[in-house]
Amino acid sequence: MRALDTGALLAWPLVDLIGCLCVPGQVAEVMKHSPERAMLIQSQGPRFLSPSTEAIEQARASAIETGDLSGLAAVDLEILALAIEHGAELVTDDYRLQNVCTNFDHPWTGIIQDGIEDSWTWTLECRGCRRQHPALETKRKGEYGNCPECGAELRLKRIQNSN
Ligand SMILES: [Zn+2]
């Protein structure tokens, strides 16, 4: 099962949306881009479900722990919560959502699935001097350590390879 963020709702062919999970708040987001699309996805698209309060709290706590909460809209948090609640793979190009999922071993995939993930790598970026350091084995938030240059906290960041 898959949960789709709004980018996927807009980008994927309608037939691929069937059976996927979304939250009701995403209809308004799609409406902003295309009222026609919004009508179509409501009549023949994914299942619109609201996450439980518990799942939203879990998603919020996870995003706080990874430092991504401030960049996430309420709808983003809801779709993350829905993915968690239903054990659904989250389809998103939002690196914050991807970062939260990665840190909590929740499956996710990018919207365009033609190997584009190969052109991305993880790095540890210093919150102070912004220097980047190689990301070692996957570690949970809080175990990344501190910048050897300035001592500030390191955070996991997804960067695009130059090739
Ligand atoms: Zn630093």
pLDDT digits (tens, 9 = 90+) for 23-73: 999 999 999 989 999 999 998 889 999 999 999 999 999 999 988 898 899
Range list of β-strands (E), the chain: 2-4, 21-22, 47-48, 89-91, 108-109, 120-126, 132-134, 154-160
Quote the ligand 1 centre to 157 CA distance (angstroms): 14
Q: Please, what CATH class does the domain formed by 2-109 belong to? A: alpha beta
CA distances (Å), 42 to each of 23, 24, 38, 46, 150, in order?
11, 9, 6, 8, 51
137 confidence band (pLDDT: 50, 70, 90): low
Query: The pTM is what?
Result: 0.69
pLDDT digits (tens, 9 = 90+) for 14-26: 889 999 999 999 9
Quote the ligand 1 centre to 60 CA distance (angstroms): 27
Give the integer Cα–Cα distance in Å for 44 and 27.
Answer: 13
Quote the ligand 1 centre to 22 CA distance (angstroms): 39
